[in-house]
Amino acid sequence: MFRHTGKITAFALSAALLCSGVSMDVQAAQGISSVLPSGGINIALDNGTGLESLQDQTGKNIQLETVVNARQVDEAKAAAAAQAVAQEKAQEEEMFKNLVIAQVNAYVNVRSLPSESGEIVGKLYNNSVGTLLAKENGWYQIRSGNVTGYVKGEYCVTGEEAITLAREVGTRIASVTCDGLYVRQEPSTESKILGMVAFEDDLLVLEETDTWVKVDTEEGDGWVSREYVDLHTEFVQAESREEEAARLAKEEADRQKAREAARQAQAAQNQTAASQGSSHGIDPSSVTISGDNEMGVAVANFAVQFVGNPYKWGGTSLTNGADCSGFVMSVYANFGVSLPHSSSADRKQGYAVDSLANALPGDLICYSGHVALYIGDGNIVHASNSKTGIIISRADYKKILAIRRIF
């Protein structure tokens, strides 16, 4: 074994010396000449200068080279990531320049012609956004949602001014592209794990680096790898006259249907939830649920029965454990309504409610990677996290991304 090892080491050492341009010439030790080849480099080991010491030095050189190579790879990755982010920002700014953002008290009319005599085809609400198509005599032609028409330029901003404003009025979202993505306390794979987020969860972005994104989660603010999220900015768009009329008609029809549906759902309110416990939030006994939307009130009353029950990631059981969207899904299932098991998908259910002031019991309150049920008086009931379980909280405990009405 010793002779075989000597041959390999001598070859490695000779290669290292040739690459570095260094030569060695010492007296050969007895017995070594039969092991080492005599052509090429003449390596002789002085008495006491063993082959093992050269092996050790060669190993250290290889380790050093490995460290240097790994560092170079990391630096190359970081440079590539920085370049990609810079390109994304440049493209984003070009897109923002071409936006038209309403700056009014309520809304600006979108007209069919660049004139006040043009027919009103929609409304662009304050801080809502359209894409600039053309400019004509102080009017901007825009496309926003399902609306294409003209708005008065004096009520909107575009160009360089729109770049800064777009970042203020837009909502920066990170959409998760893998399942079970870790959220960490610091932007490092060595940092403590705060929790996990699911595939297609939409998370509110708080901060960005070239390789990490700080997001708002129910477990607290944390960092996720930029590699596993898609980043985009969401804006409110115009509403067409047809969309407005349909929305108002649906709201009125739903109010009428809710009264009858609520009477049929009274039996559901009498179901008893198991395992009552501490809410770690607002005391359920101090909450009174009331309102004109009887179905929504029935949903809210049914939901609060489960306060104190456990949270379980991926769960849908109201008694044995549910996550946020699983809780909402199972509550509504009791009333014959099928909702997705996804907090981001819940943001597209039903129809939009414009503000918390107009929220009614039973509405879905959508947050960054989280969803809850509104129960009135500024309160929500939700499957919060593994520490607190199902609790009642203030609805404005963090930024609301959307409010959706099912009934």
Q: Which tens digit of pLDDT belongs to each residue from 171-204?
A: 999 999 998 999 999 999 999 999 999 999 999 9
> Residues with Cβ < 8 Å from 66, sequence gap 6 or more?
none
Lowest mean pLDDT among 1-15, 72-86, 165-179, 250-264: 1-15
Is there a domain that residue 76 lies in? no
Q: Clarify whether residues 348 and 376 are in a common domain.
A: yes
Is there a domain that residue 92 lies in? no
Supply the pLDDT for residue 351.
86
Q: Please spell the DSSP secondary structure of 168-218, one letter per residue.
A: HHSEEEEEE-SSSEEEESSSSTTSPEEEEE-TT-EEEEEEE-SSEEEEEET
Q: Clarify whether residues 351 and 264 are in a common domain.
A: yes
Name 110's bridge partners: 122
Beta-sheet pairing, 402-405 with 351-352: antiparallel
What is the end-to-end Cα distance of the chain in Å, rounded?
A: 81
Supply the pLDDT for residue 284.
63
CATH number where 302 lies: 3.90.1720.10
Is there a domain that residue 29 lies in? yes
Q: Clarify whether residues 331 and 400 are in a common domain.
A: yes
Say how far apart CA 361 and CA 399 lie, in whole Å.
Answer: 19
Supply the pLDDT for residue 61.
63
Q: Clarify whether residues 157 and 300 are in a common domain.
A: no
Q: Clarify whether residues 272 and 191 are in a common domain.
A: no
> Residues with Cβ < 8 Å from 402, sequence gap 6 or more?
347, 352, 364, 366
CA 226 to chain CA centroid, nearest Å: 10
Is there a domain that residue 91 lies in? no
- pLDDT tens figures, 33-90: 333 343 444 444 454 555 566 566 666 666 666 655 667 766 777 787 788 788 888 8
Supply the pLDDT for residue 2.
38
CA 11 to chain CA centroid, nearest Å: 54
Please check the confidence at residue 279 and state whether its pLDDT lies above 60. Answer: no
Q: Clarify whether residues 127 and 44 are in a common domain.
A: no
91 to each of 95, 327, 406, how far by Cα in Å? 6, 40, 37
Domain with 111, as residue range(s), is: 98-166
Q: Clarify whether residues 19 and 119 are in a common domain.
A: no
- pLDDT, greater one: 94 or 74: 94
Supply the pLDDT for residue 250.
77
Name 220's bridge partners: 217
Mean pLDDT of 305-309: 96
CB count within 10 Å of CB 351 equals 14
Is there a domain that residue 77 lies in? no
Q: What percent of the chain has pLDDT over 90?
A: 60
Is there a domain that residue 88 lies in? no
Lowest mean pLDDT among 4-18, 63-77, 307-321: 4-18
- End residue of a domain, out of 234, 262, 278: 234
Supply the pLDDT for residue 293.
77
> Residues with Cβ < 8 Å from 340, sequence gap 6 or more?
325, 329, 346, 349
Residue 56 phi, psi dihedral angles, 5° rounding: -60, -45
Supply the pLDDT for residue 32.
35
Q: Clarify whether residues 251 and 313 are in a common domain.
A: yes
- End residue of a domain, out of 166, 194, 209: 166
Say how far apart CA 199 and CA 180 lie, in whole Å.
Answer: 7
Is residue 330 very low, low, confident or very high in pLDDT (cuts 50, 70, 90)? Answer: very high
CATH number where 131 lies: 2.30.30.40
Is residue 248 very low, low, confident or very high in pLDDT (cuts 50, 70, 90)? Answer: confident
Q: Are 359 and 374 in contact (CB under 8 A)?
A: yes
Q: Clarify whether residues 352 and 263 are in a common domain.
A: yes
Mean pLDDT of 101-106: 96
Is there a domain that residue 400 lies in? yes
Q: Are 343 and 371 in contact (CB under 8 A)?
A: yes
Q: Clarify whether residues 335 and 400 are in a common domain.
A: yes
Q: What is the mean pLDDT of the chain?
A: 81
- pLDDT, greater one: 308 or 265: 308
* SS3 (DSSP) at 13: helix
Q: Clarify whether residues 312 and 223 are in a common domain.
A: no
Q: What global pTM score does this model have? A: 0.67
SS3 readout for 66-108: HHHHHHHHHHHHHHHHHHHHHHHHHHHHHHHHCEEEECCCCEE
Please check the confidence at residue 301 and state whether its pLDDT lies above 90. Answer: yes
Q: Clarify whether residues 227 and 254 are in a common domain.
A: no
Token representation of residue 105: 């008290």
Which one, of 364, 371, 319, lies nearest residue 342 by Cα? Answer: 371
Q: How many domains does the chain have?
A: 4
Please check the confidence at residue 205 and state whether its pLDDT lies above 90. Answer: yes
- pLDDT tens figures, 351-392: 889 899 999 999 999 999 999 999 999 999 999 999 999 999
Token representation of residue 375: 């129960």
Say how far apart CA 95 and CA 105 lie, in whole Å.
Answer: 25
- pLDDT, greater one: 239 or 351: 239
- End residue of a domain, out of 55, 70, 85: 70
- pLDDT, greater one: 182 or 5: 182
Q: Are 361 and 297 in contact (CB under 8 A)?
A: yes
Token representation of residue 201: 């969860």
Is there a domain that residue 35 lies in? yes
Please check the confidence at residue 98 and state whether its pLDDT lies above 90. Answer: yes
